[in-house]
Structure 1
């Protein structure tokens, strides 16, 4: 055999995460009480400052079918617009010690609905000192998704701030921008923002690189 002849190896077969995502990351919903402290979808305590809101929605695949085994993580600023993280240098904004800003939700196996109980975040100062509209960062994993998807959720009642947001303005088409905007409603005296996520198809949600 000629040593200069290139050798082509066959690709190793890949496999998606399967149902073990819930057992490892959200075991309580999967019926396993194995962690002393479960990281859940309720981010607030009675002492947390800010407007209480509920975020809920469903995740759809490219065929329009609901995906019922999704796990979503959220990361957000507090009501003053500051993250509970040492990398946030906005010294002019207070940290709320009663609000961790991070949550994990799994969709309901029957209805497909996920939800978070949290507070509406304030505006964060972004790159070059430009303010960003209030938003929540989301990370999505599920069976059939080999790499977690990252997106943002904005608020429909923040039209002026959304219009000036540098990230939203970086999206060329208005129709695509709207895939990142959650709609506000009131239900039994509670503020609810509905944010459905489309993994593929004509209504595909905008996703971002890490």
Structure 2
């Protein structure tokens, strides 16, 4: 009996990569009021090697905290050769949570990469946001692991969230 190597299909991100989708201020969002931000980060594997063949999708509420009401909150981009992704968007507002709670402003990220049979999902919360303390989803994450979900402002209006797919300092991923 002969065995064959195990492998995943793809990645074929170049087929579905539309660089303009990394700017959520496009189209109908261009005239929307709000604070323009950049969300960037580097995706690395368990060894710390950059994942230059990943794709990131984001979903977010608009500046008013609504998922509808005219803001197109979906974006997609491929990582570059060093695993970096970059989105330009409007900073989301707080959104209603379970019960009568309020979720802190956040951006949901899905990462598709080599070696993953299914994508992984996390959130980028904004460091120093007062509502983080009461966010019902973030409260479920052990305090020592929360920094893996906190984007830090590395320059005015530029927020960085590095994503580690496994190993030491692995990003917290959500089971959704």
TM-score if structure 1 supplies the norm length? 0.76
What is the alpha-carbon distance in structure 2 between the residues aligned to residue 24 and residue 17 of structure 1? 13
Alignment equivalent of 2:52, drawn from 68, 91, 101: 68
Q: What is the match of residue 165 of structure 1? A: 135
Alignment equivalent of 1:25, drawn from 16, 29, 33: 16
Tell me if 1:132 matches 2:103. Answer: yes
Q: What is the match of residue 150 of structure 2? A: 181
Contact 2:54 2:112 in 1 (8 A): yes
Q: What is the match of residue 83 of structure 2? A: 112
Q: Which runs of 5 or more residues in structure 2 are unaligned?
A: none
What is the alpha-carbon distance in structure 1 between the residues aligned to residue 83 and residue 5 of structure 2? 30
CA drift at 1:151: 0.6
What is the alpha-carbon distance in structure 2 between the residues aligned to residue 202 and residue 108 of structure 1? 23
Q: Which runs of 5 or more residues in structure 1 are unaligned?
A: 1-11, 30-38, 85-94
Contact 1:121 1:135 in 2 (8 A): yes
Q: Secondary structure at the match of 1:162?
A: helix
Q: What does the per-residue CA deviation read over 1:142-177, in whole Å, with 9 as the maximum and x for residues that have no partner?
A: 11111110111100130x2111111111112x2201
RMSD: 1.7
CA drift at 1:59: 0.4
Q: What does the per-residue CA deviation read over 1:38-94, in whole Å, with 9 as the maximum and x for residues that have no partner?
A: x6110014312210000011001001111111100000000000002xxxxxxxxxx
What is the alpha-carbon distance in structure 1 between the residues aligned to residue 16 and residue 144 of structure 2? 34
The 4+ residue runs of structure 1 with deviation greater than 6 A are none
What is the alpha-carbon distance in structure 2 between the residues aligned to residue 54 and residue 76 of structure 1? 13
Contact 1:137 1:150 in 2 (8 A): yes
Number of corresponding residues: 170
CA drift at 1:14: 5.1
What is the alpha-carbon distance in structure 2 between the residues aligned to residue 76 and residue 14 of structure 1? 36
Whose Rg is larger? 1
Tell me if 1:100 matches 2:72. Answer: yes
TM-score if structure 2 supplies the norm length? 0.90
Q: What does the per-residue CA deviation read over 1:92-150, in whole Å, with 9 as the maximum and x for residues that have no partner?
A: xxx1x2x31000011113x3211000011000001102000000111110111111101
What is the alpha-carbon distance in structure 1 between the residues aligned to residue 9 and residue 175 of structure 2? 20
